[in-house]
Chain A
Amino acid sequence: MSAGEGGADAAPEENTERAPVTMLSTPMRLEYLFSAGIAQSKNLRGLAEGKFIGQRCPVCRKVYMPSRGSCPVDGVPTDEVVELGNTGTVTTFCVVNVPFAGQSIEIPYICAMVLLDGADISFMGLIQEIPTDEVRMGLRVEAVWVPTEELRPSMASVKYFRPSGEPDADYESYKDYT
């Protein structure tokens, strides 16, 4: 927002010519160049091809998706690139009922942590194509991607997750990731 637009906040007061000024719009704005780094760039390129790309730690063998390039536990580079599948398990979730500025999805909706098969870290995703009161821990889901021509190096390439139809995962299989 430019300072000029910010001043428009005072417009209602202008109508009553002599009303004193009580508020000041002081927008703050930072423009910067974000560098994804080598590891996350691999992941983002994968997303542009409709794939989940992670990296494996050579010491603990855990797979991070996305990877930041090193293992946070062992502090070593995660050089081994791993392509993960399209399915995973809901480990935890919440029902979003509260409207907020910038919301792009109709409430209520489900925001879940999804543990992709073969990954050792979960990440946040939307769950759709299922009534909100039927979403549960252990629900097996699959990624739904945007149409091929809309794929971009961004998590926005994943439209949402939907039930895969498989039986629920055993709690034991994901209890370490909740």
Chain B
Amino acid sequence: MSEGTGDRDEEVLTSDHVLEYPYSRSVGPVIGAFLTGLRDGRILGVTSPDGRVVVPPTEYDPTTGEATGDLVEVGPEGTVESWAWVVSPLPQHPLDHPFAWVLVKLDGADTAVLHVLDAPGPDAVSTGMRVRPHFVEEDERVGRIQDIAAFVPVAGSAS
């Protein structure tokens, strides 16, 4: 038996830990088509039985649960419905400089999609402003929402 060796023994050790799981999920026919569209530089929605266009598309109408219908291309431009400016982006945020989270209702769609808006500052962002997607380079697109790097203001539409 031995006692501790003094002050040093009172220090609490800490360690950086990382826990990660490399999940893959199958996306199904509708989200799969949406992601395939993104890879091809297009944004797809789906028609619901009441004639609305849901973006991103779902297999079932989010309100009634009925099966949705045909896929339709929407956008690429859209209108900002709501936004929040991020002053200090976190490491896991999609942009490394200040940006806005935006709900964008794409032309031809009846629902808004959440994405980021790359704008010079909060003064350049307003509800109702017109935006368009900025896709990453074609050879870097793999079929995921990040294939749209960000939305950007359509020239002359801010404020």
Interface residues, chain A, CB within 8 Å of chain B?
1, 3, 6-11, 13-14, 20-38, 40-42, 44-45, 80-83, 153
15 contacts between A and B (CB under 8 A): A10-B142, A14-B142, A20-B36, A21-B32, A23-B26, A24-B25, A29-B18, A29-B21, A31-B17, A35-B12, A38-B10, A38-B12, A42-B9, A80-B1, A82-B2
CA of A82 to CA of B2, assembled, Å: 6
* Interface mask (B133-159 → A, CB under 8 Å = 1, otherwise 0): 000000000111010000000000000
With a cutoff of 8 Å between Cβ atoms, the chain B residues found around residue A1 in the complex are 20, 22
A81–B26 contact, CB under 8 A? Answer: no
Across the interface, name the chain B residue whose C-beta is closest to A21: B143
* Interface mask (B5-24 → A, CB under 8 Å = 1, otherwise 0): 00011111111111111111
Give the residue of A8, A14, A29 whose beta carbon is less than 8 angstroms from that of B20: A29
With a cutoff of 8 Å between Cβ atoms, the chain B residues found around residue A8 in the complex are 142
With a cutoff of 8 Å between Cβ atoms, the chain A residues found around residue B15 in the complex are 33-34, 36
Given contacts A7-B144, A21-B32, A29-B18, 13 further A-B pairs with CB under 8 A are: A1-B20, A6-B22, A7-B146, A23-B26, A23-B27, A24-B24, A24-B26, A24-B27, A27-B21, A36-B12, A41-B9, A45-B13, A83-B2
A39 to chain B, nearest CB (A): 10
Chain B: residues with Cβ within 8 Å of the partner, total of 34
Contacts A24-B144, A45-B9, A81-B2 given; does A30 touch B18 at CB 8 Å: yes
With a cutoff of 8 Å between Cβ atoms, the chain B residues found around residue A40 in the complex are 13
A34–B17 contact, CB under 8 A? Answer: yes
B71 to chain A, nearest CB (A): 12
Give the residue of A10, A25, A31, A33 whose beta carbon is less than 8 angstroms from that of B14: A33
Across the interface, name the chain B residue whose C-beta is closest to A23: B24
CA of A96 to CA of B18, assembled, Å: 26
B113 interface residue per 8 A CB criterion = no
With a cutoff of 8 Å between Cβ atoms, the chain A residues found around residue B33 in the complex are 20
A23–B14 contact, CB under 8 A? Answer: no
With a cutoff of 8 Å between Cβ atoms, the chain A residues found around residue B4 in the complex are 42, 81
A33–B3 contact, CB under 8 A? Answer: no
